[in-house]
Amino acid sequence: MERKYMESQIKGVSTGTTILAVTFNGGVVIGSDSRASMGGNYVCSKTINKLIQVHDRIFCCIAGSLADAQAVTKMAKFQISLHSIQMDSPPLVKAAASILKELCYNNKEELQAGFITAGWDKKRGPQVYTVALGGMLLSMPFTIGGSGSTYIYGYTDAKYKPDMTKEECLQFATNALALAMGRDNVSGGVAHLVVITEEGVEHVVIPGDKLPKFHDE
């Protein structure tokens, strides 16, 4: 017990978390829970925002040390903004993800944060990239992350299908988040969802009692 207490003092607030991003036909849905915990038994915040907007059509979900994640996304937001102005066009999602990756890789000794970058751009449409702890960058049709994600790998692998409609995708993401939040003690609160399409960005917040319930609830 004491060792765990010491760990949390050193690590600080972390987002034991569930985050995900899923592409559908014409856009991408990004979702997260809203719990920030310290040491595994204290909830620092029940309503924290883990979906950071880094550009008009690009969002980042954060996992890991909250301080590190906020510092990195703040720097990334600046660099993406500058890049977009220099290029005189909205940034590619790949460029935004690469910027995050460079920050994570070059500072891997000090940082403990992982990200999911997702968004829409004119060249390649909806995309999802995962930037892991050490700075690995991978593109995939959908991805899940954070401590809660371990409980839903089976569900997402079984239930994902390419080219879903927006409604199907929202339902898929909501179910996945609800299942993870139901089993992971450091994920919880409300479910935040953001839908990004060519037309714009739409936020959906689902409070804990309105989440889908499964057999034992």
Partner 1 sequence: MSSIGTGYDLSASTFSPDGRVFQVEYAMKAVENSSTAIGIRCKDGVVFGVEKLVLSKLYEQGSNKRIFNIDRHVGMAVAGLLADARSLSEVAREEASNFRSNYGHNIPLKHLSERVAMYVHAYTLYSAVRPFGCSFILGSYDKDDGPQLYMVDPSGISYGYWGCAIGKAKQAAKTEIEKLQMKDMTCRELVKEVAKIIYIVHDEVKDKAFELELSWVGEVTNGKHELVPKDVREEAEKYAKDSLEEEDDSDEDNM
Catalytic residue annotation: 17
Least separation in angstroms between CB 137 and partner 1: 7
Of residues 152, 145, 149, the one with CA closest to residue 131 = 145
Q: Does 102 engage in binding with partner 1 (CB under 8 A)?
A: yes
Q: Does 143 engage in binding with partner 1 (CB under 8 A)?
A: no
Structure tokens at 133: 């702890």
- Find the binder of partner 1 among 28, 99, 116, 177 (CB under 8 A): 99
- Find the binder of partner 1 among 62, 72, 137, 152 (CB under 8 A): 137
Q: Which amino acid is at 38?
A: M
Q: In whole angstroms, how far apart are CA 199 and each of 139, 180, 202? A: 23, 30, 10
Of residues 151, 5, 133, the one with CA closest to residue 64 = 133
Q: Which is nearer to partner 1, 76 or 191 (CB)?
A: 76
Q: Which is nearer to partner 1, 118 or 181 (CB)?
A: 118
Cβ neighbours, 10 Å, residue 156: 20
**135: alpha, beta or left? (left if phi > 0; alpha if psi -120 to 50):** left
Q: Does 130 engage in binding with partner 1 (CB under 8 A)?
A: no
Residues that bind partner 1 (CB under 8 A): 83, 86-87, 92, 94-95, 97-99, 101-102, 123, 137
